[in-house]
């Protein structure tokens, strides 16, 4: 079994297939490329997934990073769903739930997408990817384990993690798409 079942990139506008291992973000026709996966390579059960660490990378078969050594993570994990019964009743939506993303180290839902994007971008050997690797090491070093986080430590780690991911996303965006993110 492979770490990722990523098979190719596909253009939703013209249908062209592109090599998933080449750094590219758009098709020659101008449309963003979509990641496509080979479901035949995914041989895990819900029980297998439930037994993995509670983070974004527990679903690695369906993420576009080929090896675990290229994963960049600041602890983007499982966040709770909060029941909103009164608002649900007022809106006519029974069982309304809200995802609480404030528990992610950066404090924003954008961290998951940034972690995947940065992990994918640092696989190359460009100067930008070397900068990303340095930033990810700094961010990991200042992010305390969840069991040891105080309000101040969490605020500091969120600030540094946000800066690292934002800088990394900008570098990755410029590197992958030829323009600023």
- Give the least confident one: 4-8, 18-22, 50-54, 133-137: 133-137
Alpha-carbon distance of 141 to 34, in angstroms, equals 33
61 neighbors 4 (Cβ within 8 angstroms):
yes
Q: Which helix (H) or strand (E) holds 128?
A: helix 127-142
Can you give the pTM of this predicted structure? 0.64
User: Is the distance from CB of 160 to CB of 142 less than 8 angstroms?
Assistant: yes
CA atoms within 13 A on the CB side of 130: 3
Q: Residue 50 pLDDT more than 50?
A: yes
Q: Residue 108 carries which DSSP code?
A: S
DSSP state, residue 99: E
User: Parallel, antiparallel, or unpaired: how do β-strands 34-37 and 17-18 relate?
Assistant: unpaired
Q: What is the chain's mean pLDDT, rounded? A: 77
Mean pLDDT in residue range 158-171: 48
- From the CB of residue 140, how many other CB atoms can be counted at a distance below 10 Å? 15
Residue 120 corresponds to which tokens in the numbers above? Answer: 């994918």
């Amino acid at each position: 079994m492979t770490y990722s079942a990523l098979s190719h990139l596909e253009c939703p506008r013209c249908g062209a297939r592109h090599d998933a291992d080449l750094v590219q973000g758009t098709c020659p026709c101008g449309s963003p490329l979509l990641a496509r996966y080979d479901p035949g390579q995914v041989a895990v059960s819900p029980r297998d997934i439930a037994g993995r660490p509670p983070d974004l990378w527990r679903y690695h078969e369906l993420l576009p990073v080929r090896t675990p050594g290229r994963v960049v993570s600041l602890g983007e994990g499982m966040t709770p769903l909060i029941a909103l019964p009164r608002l649900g009743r007022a809106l006519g939506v029974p069982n309304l739930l809200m995802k609480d993303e404030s528990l992610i180290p950066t404090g924003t839902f954008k961290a998951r997408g940034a972690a995947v994007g940065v992990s994918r971008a640092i696989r190359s050997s460009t100067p930008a990817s070397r900068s990303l690797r340095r930033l990810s090491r700094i961010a990991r070093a200042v992010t305390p384990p969840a069991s040891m986080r105080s309000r101040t430590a969490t605020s500091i780690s969120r600030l540094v993690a946000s800066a690292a991911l934002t800088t990394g996303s900008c570098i990755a965006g410029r590197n992958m798409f030829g323009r600023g993110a």
